Amino acid sequence: MTRLIPMLPVRSMPASVEFYRKLGFTVENRNDSWRWAMLCFGECRLMVDESINVHPQSPRTSVLYLYPDDVKQYHRQLRDHGLAVPDLETSFYDMTEFRFDDPDGNRLWIGQAAADGQQS
């Protein structure tokens, strides 16, 4: 195995693509007839897919943990893009992080080791 790419079930692929663009992702591949898109951010990849969303009203339980180079700067960037993200906190496991949901209820945790000088 050489890599793993999460595929998230979404209610609206176009809305999800727009949301993840605000996070800094770009579209690597998209097929509107499939209602699917592959997004990328550097070496990271994420697929969003309406066709696998067999229970669109069900709560999501998946978590994506994203590791930016500078969590404080990335946090400011998301707020500058109009996203309502909570304040940065330092976790009991020594990560400076913040957590929020995407439009479909998938959990996003974004953090960096507090020892990297990024404490809130």
Q: Are 31 and 37 in contact (CB under 8 A)?
A: yes
- Give residue 30's pLDDT: 97
User: Helices marked H in the chain — which ranges?
Assistant: 13-22, 71-80
What parts of the chain have a pLDDT lower than 50?
A: 117-120
Q: How far from 40 is each of 56, 101, 109, 117, CA to CA, in Å?
A: 24, 19, 17, 27
What domains appear along the chain, each with residue ranges and CATH number? 1-53 (3.10.180.10), 61-120 (3.10.180.10)
- Give residue 120's pLDDT: 43
